[in-house]
Structure 1
Amino acid sequence: MSEHIRIYVADLAAYNAGHLHGAWIDATLDLDDMQEQVNAMLAASPVEGAEEYAIHDFEGFDGYPLGEYEGLQTAHEIACYIEEYPEFGGALLAHFNDLEQARKAAEEDYCGCHASLADYAQELTEETTSIPQHLAHYIDYRAMARDMEYSGDLFTLETGFEQVHVFWNR
């Protein structure tokens, strides 16, 4: 994950006149502070009377494709969500493409991070079932994991090597 979650806000009047003018802004700042930085950038425009801006770049959104005209408030809300869930927030938001659904999944349906889905199947089985020791070696947790995934009861997000985030699909 990037150290900072930020957006590059471009001055559209300058851009249309052939000038690159804009500012990188920390998207987790208070919304009023973000707006002040945009206003300062527009006031320093090489084109007189600059008023319009767009988000032309972003960093730290971890897989979520922030749109050019999302708006400061939306960018801020998404950035704060990703900051709250740094291990999987951007990937979960990209999965749902809806902030409320992603938030609900993170708060209510998250089962944790595991090396594999088979590891999660084993953990779940051992926590909920008493398995006789002489039968434990015969359980195929990979097959159980495959069945769990194919059934649609859960979904996974892989965010790195042996970093499989498991969510119930409700």
Structure 2
Amino acid sequence: MNHEPHPPRDEPNQEPDHTPEHERLHYPPRIYVASLADYVDGRLHGTWLDAAREPAAVAADIQKMLARSPIPGAEEFAIHDFENFGYLRLGEYEQLDWVCAVARGIAEHGPAFSAWADVMDGNLDALAQFTDNYLGDYPSLSDYGAELLAGYGLDELLDRVVPESLHGYVKVDIDGYARNLELSGSVATYPHESGVWVFSG
């Protein structure tokens, strides 16, 4: 998609963070909105906007962009590009309420929110449930299962009830436990480059 070049800026820190903490983005999600009247006329007229704001503020900036169009009465626009929306892909005619809510969530909570928004697939009300459902970022679902079992005190229980001579023969099927968590709907996962985000089912 041809549009105005991105403004130059420093490269963000590329070192991955694999902890289950919310990872904040260094740059806010942005959208490139363009005048459809100009586009149909073979002209590029648009602007990059910070989307992590209230919809009314973004809409006002879009109207300013349309008012600067050389075509009188230009009223319609489309999203022709976007950046820093993580795993979510925006369509040209997404509702601003949805776009801004997602952008604000990503700016506050990091890329995991983009996965949540992708799963919610346009359900605006469900976006607010992210903090209640996000369980963390893990190298694998089995790592989450192991942490969960450790929290139940399973290792201490086995130490108490299993003779030391049998410890090497008694194993917990953590992988199977983790798979069952997902198959039963207790949790849901969203894979990314270095692991999975885990959400309650």
Q: Shorter-chain TM-score category?
A: 0.7 to 0.9
User: Contact (CA 8 Å) 1:88, 1:159: kept in 2 or not?
Assistant: no
The match for 2:124 is 99
Residues 58, 150 of structure 1: CA spacing in aligned structure 2 closer, same or farther, 3 A cutoff?
same
The question of 1:124 aligning with 2:124 is answered no
The C-alpha deviation readout for 1:63-102, integer Å capped at 9, x for no partner, is 2222322233332122112222213011111112123224
Rounded Cα–Cα distance in structure 2 between residues aligned with 1:126 and 1:73? 41
The match for 2:184 is 151
The question of 1:168 aligning with 2:200 is answered yes
The match for 1:108 is 132
SS at match of 2:128: helix
| Structure 1 residue ranges (4+ consecutive) displaced by more than 6 angstroms after TM superposition | none
User: Contact (CA 8 Å) 2:98, 2:124: kept in 1 or not?
Assistant: no
State which drifts further: 5-14 or 61-70. 61-70
Structure 2: 5+ residue runs without aligned partners? 1-24
Rounded Cα–Cα distance in structure 2 between residues aligned with 1:107 and 1:140? 29
Rounded Cα–Cα distance in structure 2 between residues aligned with 1:37 and 1:168? 37
Structure 1: 5+ residue runs without aligned partners? none
Rounded Cα–Cα distance in structure 1 between residues aligned with 2:77 and 2:26? 24
User: Contact (CA 8 Å) 1:2, 1:60: kept in 2 or not?
Assistant: no
SS at match of 1:51: coil
Specify which of 53, 60, 73 is matched with residue 49 of structure 1.
73
Matches within 5 A, 1:9-88: 9-88=33-112
Q: How many pairs does the alignment contain? A: 167
Structure 1 residue 18: Cα displacement = 1.2
Residues 160, 99 of structure 1: CA spacing in aligned structure 2 closer, same or farther, 3 A cutoff?
farther
Structure 1 residue 8: Cα displacement = 1.0
User: Contact (CA 8 Å) 2:85, 2:111: kept in 1 or not?
Assistant: no
TM-score normalised by L of structure 2: 0.73
Over the aligned positions, Cα root-mean-square deviation in angstroms equals 2.2
Rounded Cα–Cα distance in structure 2 between residues aligned with 1:63 and 1:146? 24
